[in-house]
Amino acid sequence: MDSLRLPSLNALTVSHSSFQKEQRAKFSGKLNYFNSSMPPSLILSPPFRTLNRHRQHRRVMQMQAADEDYDLKQMRDMAAAKRRWDAMIREGKVNVLTPREAGYAIQLNNKTLLDVRPSVEKKKAWVKGSTWIPIFEVDDRFEMGTISRKITNFIMGGWWSGVPSLSYDNQFLSKVEEKFPKDADLIVACQRGLRSLAACELLCNSGYRNLYWVQGGLEAAAEEDLVIEGPQPLKFAGIGGVSEFLGWTDQQRVAAAKEGWGYRLLFSARLVGIFLVADALFLGVQQVSRYIQDIRSH
């Protein structure tokens, strides 16, 4: 895995660089608000306050430099991976199929579809008769390093997109080898097409020679291209978080254009409900603060 220098999971799912910068700015604003709201008893004397500010500034600069280095490394890893993947396809090591062509191969020629998506996407919708072996899976470990990554992923956009913290499955190749011989015809697919390319590279390097990649992923498939099972449409399998709840994803906008006003009213009602709940919480906090002040005054 390390020798392949695969880009991290955020780069293989959706680019959040601009979104992350916006969230950092908002988070910084919240920190400033909390600092300005500190009670007088917690405010340090001027010399210590100045020293503390210098330390905080130095830490912020270090964090910003680390973020920039991380983003730069992500871009370099992604660019290097793309060059390898382009060469792999150009040299004919992996064949390219459209979702419709993949559907024909599965239904008419009994080819096997290898679904490498994580469980959060697979449980929403899947191709009938496909074999599911995820290359990346939801990281459910509760260790110091994994918890910090989960918090960072949530702050940097996971709350909005619903993309969880994922980790590479070290048993991916062994699981595939247990089910399929090296001469098997495998149609490899994920939700958007990037993780399946990473899987094709791993499989190709391990000796598989009859590999087919679904260009654009399962999300690019039309309703008639593949036989789908599951509780949701296939195009909705890759969305989540607050954006899905409010209906602010591209997939839901397309569905709204087809379904009409009834579909849009559902998400409009959810948005109004959020504002009402937020307003009620704000009024409740005000009432509680007044109640506490009345108790202290007496």
In this predicted model, what pLDDT tens digit does every residue of 94-151 receive, in sequence order? 999 999 999 999 999 889 999 999 999 999 999 999 999 999 998 776 666 667 766 7
In this predicted model, what pLDDT tens digit does every residue of 24-49 receive, in sequence order? 444 344 333 333 333 333 333 344 34
For Cα atoms 76, 82, 87, give the angle at the middle one, nearest 5 degrees: 130
- Please report the pLDDT score of residue 12 as a whole number: 55
Residue 186 has pLDDT above 90, yes or no: yes
Provide the CATH number for the domain around residue 44: 3.40.250.10
Residue 53 has pLDDT above 70, yes or no: no
Q: How far apart are CA 189 and CA 178, in angstroms?
A: 19
Taking a C-beta distance cutoff of 8 angstroms, is the pair 10, 153 a contact?
yes
Taking a C-beta distance cutoff of 8 angstroms, is the pair 194, 85 a contact?
no
Rounded to an integer, the average pLDDT of 73-92 is 88
Q: Give the chain's count of helices (H) and strands (E).
A: 12, 9
Q: How far apart are CA 163 and CA 243, in angstroms?
A: 11
**If pLDDT is split at 50, 70 and 90, which confidence band does 69 have?**
low
Q: Is residue 183 part of a domain?
A: yes
Residue 14 has pLDDT above 60, yes or no: no
Average pLDDT of the chain to the nearest whole number: 76
Q: Is residue 276 part of a domain?
A: no
- Please report the pLDDT score of residue 46 as a whole number: 41
Enumerate the β-bridge partners of residue 186: 112, 211
Domain count, the chain: 1
- Please report the pLDDT score of residue 15 as a whole number: 40
Q: Is residue 155 part of a domain?
A: yes
- Please report the pLDDT score of residue 270 as a whole number: 67
Q: Is residue 289 part of a domain?
A: no
Beta-carbon-side half-sphere exposure of residue 85 (alpha carbons within 13 Å): 22
Record the pTM.
0.66
Burial grade of 52 (CB within 10 A; 0-12, 13-18, 19 or more)? exposed
Proportion of the chain in helix, strand, coil states, percent, rounded to 5: 60, 10, 30
Q: Is residue 274 part of a domain?
A: no
Beta-carbon-side half-sphere exposure of residue 101 (alpha carbons within 13 Å): 13
**Catalytic residue numbers?**
190
Phi, psi of 187 (to 5 degrees): -100, 110
Q: Is residue 2 part of a domain?
A: no
The share of the chain scoring above pLDDT 90, in percent, equals: 39
- Please report the pLDDT score of residue 1 as a whole number: 45
- Output the six-digit token pair for 85: 């993947």
Domain span holding position 254:
9-259
Amino acid at 218: L
Taking a C-beta distance cutoff of 8 angstroms, is the pair 150, 141 a contact?
no
Q: How many CB atoms are closer than 10 A to CB 175? A: 14
